[in-house]
Amino acid sequence: MPAPALYRATCMNKDDLLVSVKGLVPTPTGCGVFLSNGEKTITIFVDHSVAAAITMFMHGIKKPRPLTHDLIANIFAGLDIRVQKVVVNDLKEDTFFARLYLVQESELGRHVVEVDARPSDSIAIALQQECPIYVAHHVWETAEDMTWALEQAQKEAEQKKEEEDEDDDDEDKETP
């Protein structure tokens, strides 16, 4: 019998919604990661270290030494495994859960394995491996729509950038 966190994946759920990372917003204890399908946005809160990894993968920042998610990618590559998709599959007491779908093809055949994982790590791996992120329909329906919070954060970031640009312009004018 397989370990509790490891399951043979048998089917794809057609009700899963494809989402993308629309932004990260710092909080006192980490970051909010905003996932959206264009109509609704949900937020998953992650710690600072995983938020940093997500940011690096979003912006294609190369690191001098492999970090944890890089190590995982190196292990996958060494074992000829690719990440097929990530699914945020459950929400219990304000905590999200996720699954990684891993595919290994060899002369023995094709094996798909479903692995229990934190959504934060799953999102980082999905961005790194350039695979799709899905949210289960029941999770999507249950989670609060946070589109307003993303729009507010984007507006505040835009205002801050404009203020910084104005300050830079003022400094340029003062310099002889």
Q: What pLDDT does residue 169 have? A: 63
DSSP 94: T
Instruction: Please tell me the total count of domains within the chain.
Output: 2
Q: Is the pLDDT of residue 76 over 80?
A: yes
3-state secondary structure of 54: helix
Q: Under 8 Å CB-to-CB from 134, ≥6 apart: which residues?
A: 16, 17, 18, 19, 85, 86, 87, 88
pLDDT at 90: 97
- Please compute the mean of the pLDDT values over residues 29-45 and round it to a whole number: 96
What is the reported pLDDT for 166? 76
Reported as a pLDDT band with limits 50, 70 and 90, residue 175 is low
Between 173 and 128, the higher pLDDT residue: 128
Comparing 9-13, 16-20, 47-51, 132-136, which segment has the lowest mean pLDDT?
9-13
Q: Looking at residue 104, what is its pLDDT?
A: 93
Taking 90 as the threshold, does the pLDDT of residue 72 lie above it? yes
The reply to whether 140 and 59 lie within a common domain is yes
Comparing 6 with 80, which gets the higher pLDDT?
80
Residues 43 and 82 in one domain: yes
Q: How far apart are CA 13 and CA 19, in angstroms?
A: 15
Could you list the residue range(s) of the whole structural domain that residue 121 is in? 6-145
**Mean pLDDT in residue range 88-117:** 94
CATH number, residue 52? 3.10.690.10
Say whether both 140 and 156 belong to one domain.
no
Q: Is the Cα dihedral 66, 88, 28, 94 positive or negative?
A: negative
Q: Per the domain annotation, does 1 fall within a domain?
A: no
Say whether pLDDT at 13 is over 80: no
What pLDDT does 2 receive? 44
H-helix or E-strand spanning residue 95: strand 95-106
Based on the fold, state whether residues 126 and 171 are members of the same structural domain.
no
pTM over 0.95: no
- Taking only the tens place, the pLDDT of each residue in 127-151 is 999 999 999 999 999 999 999 999 9
On whether both 75 and 155 belong to a single domain, the answer is: no
How confident is the prediction for the chain on average, in pLDDT? 88
